[in-house]
Amino acid sequence: MRLKDKIAIITGGSSGIGAEICKLFVSKGAKVVVVSRHENKALMNQLGENAVFFSTDVSDEKSVEKLYKFVLDKFAKLDILVNNAGITGENLHTHELEFSEWKRVFDINVNGSFLMSKQAILLMIKERSGSIINIGSVLGVVGSENFGAYCASKAAIIAMSKQDAINYAKYNIRVNSISPGTVMTELVASMKDKIGDESFKSIFASNHPLGGVGEPKDVAYGALYLASDESKWVTGTNLVIDGGFLAR
């Protein structure tokens, strides 16, 4: 099995892309710590005995420290961290955006990834091994008319991934990011319901040369590759999974 006996933390693991990563990792032999503010009991029942839930606010340093104490006490090591927790924030331009809203997005998306990575790296240095996967976005690579704080936060995550990849390669810790295009998560599905099929196709699906939008499992399989030993010589890369969006 590709992740046999690997210990993985997945933030934002109760829904969407995070939940799909949890399911795939468990199916490949990993023991998974599902991190979110709220437990998805149906998901945890599905994952079975090789998964455990831990409620954490990734933007709060003390909360993150409690999580890592739990992981250390229970498993004594960490092999994989997936920083998936994130929010889009308000769809406003810079001159319309309150600083409190900007800060809220960065607290979760960027500061949360930093706090989680910091503690993970301390454990991984001891093992001289590990894989950190940060979920970015195609909107962290190119500009967008919408969601300014979100775009800036995802660009920061991609840059942080490259920086950490360089700094911790000497410990055999690999750090990569994944930048999805539009993926049919609960959030995107609710947006589709609001605007209707035709508007959704013209705004989102038409932007992808392969057509349609992605599925959470498309991103999960990318994470599986970066978490496994198959990518042992891959670090500092930004894996784009976007149906061709950035190829235009």
124 by Cβ neighbours in 10 Å (0-12 / 13-18 / 19+) ranks as buried
Which pair of tokens denotes residue 113?
A: 């990834």
In whole angstroms, give the CA distance from residue 161 to residue 178.
10
Ramachandran assignment for 48, one of left (phi > 0), alpha (psi -120 to 50 degrees), beta (any other): left
Q: Which among 68, 150, 168, 171 is annotated as catalytic?
A: 150
Ramachandran assignment for 234, one of left (phi > 0), alpha (psi -120 to 50 degrees), beta (any other): beta
In whole angstroms, give the CA distance from residue 188 to residue 166.
34
Query: Does residue 171 carry a catalytic annotation?
Result: no
Read off the amino acid at residue 160: M
Strands (E) across the chain are located at 7-11, 31-36, 51-55, 80-83, 130-135, 173-180, 238-241
116 contact partners, CB below 8 Å, separation of at least 6: 9, 11, 58, 64, 81, 83
Residues catalogued as catalytic: 150
